[in-house]
């Protein structure tokens, strides 16, 4: 295949993010990359950088349009000026090769910023407290309280939704709703460092807090997220990224994907309040046992595997697991294999827990390039602390102090089975 990158794009049919590492992977796979001189200038990528990764630099666009099988444009996914990246640190696309050498976008999302702003957390950075947190919670012996959220809209004809006793993903104050400061680092393994600051009392949380997240794309096509957080008084921090992974490229639901979770324990929920009941239970003999590979579609319709959505129980997982191994050390948390594309993703983390979510929407959403995402169209592997951990001393603590800053790392490694 010949991939062409002209200065000016003539169609929006393709929007492949062409960065130097992407060129290298294409050329390693035996494809030819033609780049018009100056095509990367607006994104700070020189002809020399592209050539160093194996691209052929051409002067005129005519040869590109005449020879290329696939036309792409330079859209640096880590560029700080890209609003979709700075607002809630949304990862718009992430490509990997399928077994047939087809570039496959493994992250679901939207085409425009307005769709992200309407709501949802497609592949966004979540914080300061990801997942669910009760309105009242203790920190250093003192009780703090979050603002009471508005009730969720009830379906037509249904009784009003009950008043919620928790906030999910920090609500309207969540990092996913905010614009971050961003610094780009180019090179063989490009990265983007984002920083956000919360004043004391923001969203009911104490402390002047600074959170920094660095996203790095490694030469082996792995994606690394490095989180740090500091505060001037004890507070709670629980950050994650809500990637919506579809290793089949969003072509269909996730039923055929094989899932392994390196977690022998989970935190059961009290579904009357949609919060953990405080227990830690073994997954053995339950629908939550993924210690060996499981075709996820065989589990989605099992009894007691459901999530309340808009007053209706939707089959699927939204379950908190405790990752095996030593907390604070990098270790495997999950593996997902797609039999159609051959793409394999293995997640590693230093975090104590994982929220495993199977995109239980009970309807449909318009996604990238007009695609329609339906129920169970993606898998989320949200590494972090357990839901409502401040109210359960037996859960790993999310507390951060001036003397104990936060530092967590999560990595997603991609490969292809031939």
Beta bridge partners of 101: none
Is 382 a catalytic site residue?
Answer: yes
What is d(CA 318, CA 320) in angstroms, rounded to the nearest whole number? 7
Backbone angles phi, psi at 51, to 5 degrees: -65, -35
CA dist 334 and 157 (Å) reads 41
Where do the H-state alpha helices sit in 226-334? none
| Exposed/middle/buried for residue 27 (C-beta within 10 Å: 0-12, 13-18, 19+) | middle
Q: What are phi and psi of 82, to 5 degrees?
A: -80, 110
Q: Which of 332, 313, 310, 311 is nearest to 321 (CA)?
A: 332
Q: Each residue of 343-361: b (16+ CB within 10 Å) or e? A: bbbbbbbbbbbbbbbbbbb
Q: List C-alpha distances in Å: 312 to 155, 315, 357, 363.
A: 9, 10, 17, 12
Cα–Cα separations (whole angstroms), residue 175 to 180, 212, 252: 8, 11, 30
| CA angle 187–35–11, rounded 5-degree value | 110
- CA separation for the pair 10, 8 (Å, rounded): 7
Residue 236, classified by CB atoms within 10 Å of its CB into exposed (0-12), middle (13-18) or buried (19+), is: buried
Q: What is the DSSP letter of 238?
A: B
User: Exposed, middle or buried, 226 (CB in 10 Å: 0-12/13-18/19+)?
Assistant: middle
Active-site residue, selected from the candidate residues 96, 242, 376, 392? 242
Residues 209, 235: contact at Cβ < 8 Å?
yes
Instruction: Name the catalytic one among 24, 382, 408, 411.
Output: 382
Dist CA 106 CA 344 (whole Å): 11
Catalytically active residues, by annotation: 242, 382
């Amino acid at each position: 295949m010949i991939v062409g990158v002209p200065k000016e794009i003539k169609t929006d049919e393709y929007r492949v993010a062409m960065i130097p590492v992407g060129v290298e992977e294409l050329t390693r796979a035996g494809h030819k990359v033609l780049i018009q001189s100056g095509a990367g200038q607006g994104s700070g990528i020189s002809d020399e950088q592209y050539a160093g990764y194996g691209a052929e630099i051409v002067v005129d666009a005519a040869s590109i349009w005449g020879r290329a099988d696939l036309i792409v444009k330079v859209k640096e996914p880590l560029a700080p000026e890209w609003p979709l990246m700075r607002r809630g640190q949304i990862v718009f696309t992430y490509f990997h090769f399928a077994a047939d050498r087809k570039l496959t976008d493994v992250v679901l999302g939207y085409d425009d910023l307005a769709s992200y702003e309407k709501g949802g957390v497609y592949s966004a950075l979540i914080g300061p407290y990801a997942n669910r947190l009760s309105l009242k919670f203790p920190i250093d012996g003192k009780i703090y309280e979050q603002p009471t959220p508005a009730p969720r809209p009830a379906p037509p004809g249904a009784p009003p939704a009950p008043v919620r006793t928790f906030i999910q993903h920090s609500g309207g104050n969540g990092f996913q709703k905010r614009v971050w400061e961003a610094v780009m680092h180019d090179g063989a393994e490009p990265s983007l460092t984002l920083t956000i600051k919360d004043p004391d009392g923001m969203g009911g949380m104490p402390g002047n807090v600074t959170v920094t997240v660095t996203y790095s794309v490694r030469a082996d096509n792995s994606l690394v997220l490095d989180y740090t957080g500091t505060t001037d008084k004890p507070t709670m921090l629980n950050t994650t990224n809500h990637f919506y992974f579809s290793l089949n490229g969003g072509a269909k639901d996730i039923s055929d994907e094989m899932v392994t979770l390196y977690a022998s324990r989970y935190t059961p929920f009290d579904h009357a309040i949609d919060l953990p009941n405080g227990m830690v239970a073994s997954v053995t003999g339950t629908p939550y046992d993924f210690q060996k590979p499981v075709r996820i579609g065989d589990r989605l319709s099992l009894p007691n595997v459901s999530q309340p959505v808009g007053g209706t129980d939707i089959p699927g997982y939204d379950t908190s697991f405790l990752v095996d191994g030593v907390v604070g050390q990098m270790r495997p948390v999950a593996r997902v294999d797609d039999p159609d594309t051959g793409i394999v993703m293995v997640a590693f983390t230093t975090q104590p827990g994982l929220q495993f979510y199977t995109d239980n929407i009970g309807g449909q959403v318009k996604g990238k390039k007009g695609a329609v995402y339906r129920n169970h169209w993606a898998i989320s592997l949200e590494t972090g602390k357990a839901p409502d951990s401040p109210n359960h001393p037996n859960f790993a603590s999310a507390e951060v102090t001036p003397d104990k800053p936060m530092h967590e790392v999560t990595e997603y490694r991609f490969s292809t089975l031939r």
